[in-house]
Amino acid sequence: MAQGREPLSRRELAQFILELDATITAWRQATYATYATYSPRSPDAPAALSIRPSGIELGVLTSLAQTYGRAIGRCCISRT
């Protein structure tokens, strides 16, 4: 198997997804706070996006983590 592509255990996968969930939520909260501060709300404005990742987003992240294993963790988690 290529370097960095070792599969994650179920525990590691669950922890990785929880860390991604927290990272996405924090990023969206910061984005929403900035938007709410600097953009006046108008009747035409689109509805705010959910701050928490959806089930579909978490499913995609889980599939990517299962496919790429530790390589995706080194790439993404090290930047947070």
Amino acid at the residue 6: E
Specify the DSSP class assigned to residue 44: T
Would you say the pTM of this structure is higher than 0.75? no
Please write the tens of the pLDDT for every residue from 33-78: 877 777 666 666 666 667 788 889 889 888 888 888 767 666 555 4
Q: The tokens of 28 are what?
A: 């969206």
Q: Cβ-count burial of 16 within 10 angstroms (0-12 exposed, 13-18 middle, 19+ buried)?
A: buried
pLDDT of residue 9: 85
Rounded to 5 degrees, what angle do the CA atoms 71, 74, 80 make? Answer: 145
Instruction: Confirm if 8 and 69 have CB atoms less than 8 A apart.
Output: yes
